[in-house]
Amino acid sequence: MSLDHIDAGDPATIAASLATRFTDQYGRAPDGVFAAPGRVNLIGEHTDYNGGLCLPIALPHATYAAVGRRDDGTVTVASAQEEGSPFQGRLDELGPGQVKGWVSYAAGVLWALQEDGIDVPALDIVVDSRVPVGSGLSSSAALECSVALAACAAAGVDVDDVLRQRLVKACMRAEAEVAGAPTGGMDQTISLLGRTEAALLLDCRDWSTSQVPWDPSSAGIDLLVVDTRAAHALVDGGYQARRDDCEAAAAELGVALLRDVTDQPAALRSLSDERVRRRVRHVFSEIARVGEAVEQIGAHAWEALGRSFAASHASLRDDYEVSCEELDVVVDTAMRHGALGARMTGGGFGGSAIVLVPHKEVERVSAAVDDAFRAAGWPAPGFLTAPPSNGARQVR
């Protein structure tokens, strides 16, 4: 059986075929084609909305958006992944409660940009997602950020790093208020600010960022990503429930964010609810692990980094309870077949895992995971490699 490798595709080729699709649909060429990447988070999970640290990298897999201006106050949105006629709505009617389903992520961004004072024109948009949807690799943020960049270009706004930070906030607002997924900002930040050859250390207390050179391949080590194909949706309630526990704990401890707690052992002892205490223990330990991981990466201490991955997964599985059987099987199987470390990445409840593995063991680990899924009677997992890639950009 051959493994299912999820290809990122060649950006110029994807952009050209999306431009052709746009032209076929609307009878004119698009004004431009924009791409924004998905991501994997190396470590620092469920920390962003607690003001903590995380360390994502942008994937070569991106969502592409072709756009063309129109002059009648109407917005249309079509997708290469969706059958049927495009969504059509009025530019001034794209806010909360007005658009449903996947289109709400794109329409919500156009609404949020207008709320932020950007003079978004009427637009036709066609998108093509090469980030597998529902994979926990941030297909939602990739869609939002590609549309945000496209809309800014159509509005004639100059996209510098200051504007990119504003776009992060607009995309978060769109996702929370229009799409109904109250996410924490990591995904949009890396999609807009990612760089090749580096992970992005993001401090979610003040939203400062720094680049952490990430090149395990120079030591013969790969980062393998495994899409379990198990359902992952952040609008289902589990994600919000974790946020609610963290907010309740912060209120009980008298701080705005869990990151602000100074005496962590005392805080853990004082929390009255056992479940909430485990949630908070995850947040504290995970933020500490990000700091350790940055040092391990700087020192090329790959085995130690692998142990940090393993500790992160155990904490997410046992204390935060956001893993699932498929993710645990990937992690356990990979560790038994020569991986240095493995962990779920992203929100959890399905989605993807990352595996730090010597290059010479990649085939063996992948085949073992594939076999384990077949033995369990689950759909075949998808595999991709993750060289850090650029953030959102114009490709045509």
Binding site for ligand GLA (CB under 6 A): 41, 45-46, 48-49, 183-187, 234, 346-347
Residue 203: active-site member: no
Q: Is the separation of the CB atoms in 164 and 144 below 8 Å?
A: no
| Residue placing its CB nearer to ligand GLA in the complex, 45 or 245 | 45
Which residue type does 113 have? L
CA distance 148 to 151: 5
| Residue placing its CB nearer to ligand GLA in the complex, 189 or 366 | 189
The catalytic position among 48, 187, 227, 245 is: 187
Q: Please report where in the chains the tokens 């073992």 appear, as a residue.
A: 368
Question: CA Rg, the chain, in Å?
Answer: 21
Phi, psi of 183 (to 5 degrees): -80, 170
**Measured between alpha carbons, how far is residue 303 from residues 154, 197, 339 in Å?**
47, 20, 9
Q: Is the separation of the CB atoms in 284 and 271 below 8 Å?
A: no
| Residue placing its CB nearer to ligand GLA in the complex, 114 or 183 | 183
Tokens of 212: 């952490």
In a 13 Å sphere around the CA of 170, the CA atoms on its Cβ side amount to: 31
* Cβ 56 to ligand GLA shortest distance, Å: 9
- SS3 label, residue 15: helix
* Cβ 23 to ligand GLA shortest distance, Å: 34
> How would you class 272 by CB atoms within 10 Å of its CB: exposed for 0-12, middle for 13-18, buried for 19 or more?
exposed
From the CB of residue 15, how many other CB atoms can be counted at a distance below 10 Å?
23
Phi, psi of 30 (to 5 degrees): -70, 160
| Residue placing its CB nearer to ligand GLA in the complex, 186 or 230 | 186
DSSP conformation letters of 260-313: G-S-HHHHHHH---HHHHHHHHHHHHHHHHHHHHHHHHHTT-HHHHHHHHHHHH
| Residue placing its CB nearer to ligand GLA in the complex, 79 or 135 | 135
* Cβ 44 to ligand GLA shortest distance, Å: 7
Phi, psi of 180 (to 5 degrees): 85, 20
CA distance 154 to 99: 22
How many residues does this entry show for the chain? Answer: 396
* Cβ 54 to ligand GLA shortest distance, Å: 6
| Residue placing its CB nearer to ligand GLA in the complex, 232 or 337 | 232
CA distance 120 to 42: 35
| Residue placing its CB nearer to ligand GLA in the complex, 229 or 242 | 242
* Cβ 319 to ligand GLA shortest distance, Å: 14
* Cβ 2 to ligand GLA shortest distance, Å: 30
* Cβ 312 to ligand GLA shortest distance, Å: 10
Q: Please report where in the chains the tokens 């010479």 appear, as a residue.
A: 360
Active site residues: 187
